[in-house]
Amino acid sequence: MMLRTSVAIVGGGFSGVMVAAHLSRRLDDGASVTLIEPDTLGKGAAYGTRYREHLLNTRAGAMSAFDAEPDHFVRWLGSRGTAEQFVSRVLYGEYLSDIARQLFARPRFVHVRSAVMGIRALENGHFSIETDCRTHFDAELLVLATGTPLPSADFLPPDVKCHPGYVSDPWRFDYRNVRGHVLLAGSGLTALDVLVALEACGNRCTVHVVSRHGRFPQVHAAKPLPYDVVPALDPSCARTLLRSFRRHLCAAERRGFDWRAVVDAIRPESEALWRRLSVAERRRFDRHVRSHWERVRHRAPQAVDAVRRRYAEEGRLRVHPGRIVDARGGDVTVSCSDGTCVRLRPDWIFNCTGIGRSHTFGLDPQEHAGGLWLTGALLRGKRFESTAVPELRVIAEHVAGEIVRALRVRVSLTG
């Protein structure tokens, strides 16, 4: 069966839903939108968790789905939370699902509960999309919003991935049956998510954490006084950018500002700074600076870090700075940064290394090319920030605007 649509959106997480939401406000009569997503809309990797203890890493007041309506989420919350709180990600998933429910009750907006198996670019400039229910769609324009890919496992020894307790997707896992010793590969926000889920399920196991530096994300403080200066950073190269950032930190500290205020002040300027770096300098930043920036930029709520502290204070958290170098017969060998080796025998291994490689169905992975737009995590590497709501909502609105203009051009050419 072949069905036609003006716009097809592949992926129904935050970015897919928000592109559709902006299209609903701006599309001319007669245009149709088909969003293809097998699961509940709005509940991707981040907001599809079953654990209410998983919190947003940003205060509710900054999490509106609409950039022009900054209090939209807080108004939706009502008595369930305030602008200053780090509310449950379950609630945020419900918020996005509510937006989607209203959106797809409209005429010519359709949610197809299927998985996409393949996409082909056609000679007439359209796209042919094949789903797992053997339905094909002919789309004039296409948006890929496939969401957060699973953590990369390329760096892990093959036997780790063959371990009976290996978990490649820590975001959608049911932790209720986890018993025995646990090994976390990675120490970022995903590792904290695992600790929170384990505690929520009453797990009393010992958790070993292996990461290159053995450092966890920084923690949000009480809301700091906003920095009263727009930091003038030097993006001549990655090194000068870092040096100028450190100078601002020192100057802010001398004036009594918290370092978090400086980081937050840089955020609106970060994309422009990133685009002024050469490709070579962006790669250097990614190799040497990105992981440190992520620790201070993507911070954890105090309630989440309190879980980590409880594990540590009870002697159930062991951190090993280093990397996994071997896995045989159930034993895992860690080469530590101090030159020693540690042999562990975990019952469970969770891949917590964060966002992996994105899938573009073999299409040219450009941000926008020939009737195709990428959004969300697919833009990693092309944009400095492409995984957090304050940036994603702006990108979604921009993509929707470009699609509306493209459709109007096509109508004028054929009319």
Mean pLDDT of 190-209: 95
Q: Residue 415: is its pLDDT beyond 60? A: no
pTM of the model: 0.92
Residue 397 tokens read as: 């609105």
Q: Are strands 368-369 and 372-374 parallel, antiparallel or unpaired?
A: antiparallel
* pLDDT tens-place string over residues 173-199: 999 999 999 999 999 999 999 999 999
- How far apart CA 329 and CA 74 sit, in angstroms, is 51
Tokens 């090194």 sit at which residue?
239
* pLDDT tens-place string over residues 38-93: 999 998 888 999 999 999 999 999 999 999 999 999 999 999 999 999 999 999 99
Q: Residue 367: is its pLDDT beyond 70? A: no
* pLDDT tens-place string over residues 342-359: 999 999 999 998 776 666
Q: What is the mean pLDDT of the chain?
A: 91
How deeply is 303 buried, as exposed, middle or buried, from its count of CB atoms within 10 A (0-12, 13-18, 19+)?
Answer: middle
Amino acid, single-letter form, for residue 101? R
- How far apart CA 134 and CA 117 sit, in angstroms, is 9
- Name every residue whose Cβ is closer than 8 Å to that of residue 191 and which is 6 or more positions away in sequence: 184, 209, 211, 216, 350, 352
- Name every residue whose Cβ is closer than 8 Å to that of residue 348 and which is 6 or more positions away in sequence: 165, 166, 167, 178, 180, 181, 182, 183
Q: What percent of the chain has pLDDT over 70?
A: 96
Mean pLDDT of 110-131: 93
Q: Residue 33: is its pLDDT beyond 60? A: yes
- Give the per-residue pLDDT at 414: 63
- Give the per-residue pLDDT at 109: 94
In angstroms, the first-to-last Cα distance of the chain is 28
Check if the beta carbon of residue 280 is closer than 8 Å to that of residue 200. no
Q: Are strands 109-112 and 182-185 parallel, antiparallel or unpaired?
A: unpaired
Q: Residue 29: is its pLDDT beyond 90? A: no
Q: Residue 318: is its pLDDT beyond 60? A: yes
Check if the beta carbon of residue 200 is closer than 8 Å to that of residue 53. yes
- How far apart CA 239 and CA 285 sit, in angstroms, is 8
- How far apart CA 358 and CA 188 sit, in angstroms, is 19
- How far apart CA 21 and CA 104 sit, in angstroms, is 9
E strands, 27-99, in order: 33-36
Specify the length of the chain in residues. 415
* pLDDT tens-place string over residues 255-299: 999 999 999 999 888 889 888 999 999 999 988 888 888 888 899
At 86, give phi and psi (nearest 5°).
-95, 95
368 CB neighbour count, 10 Å cutoff: 15
Alpha-carbon torsion, ordered 67, 68, 72, 73, to 10 deg: 10
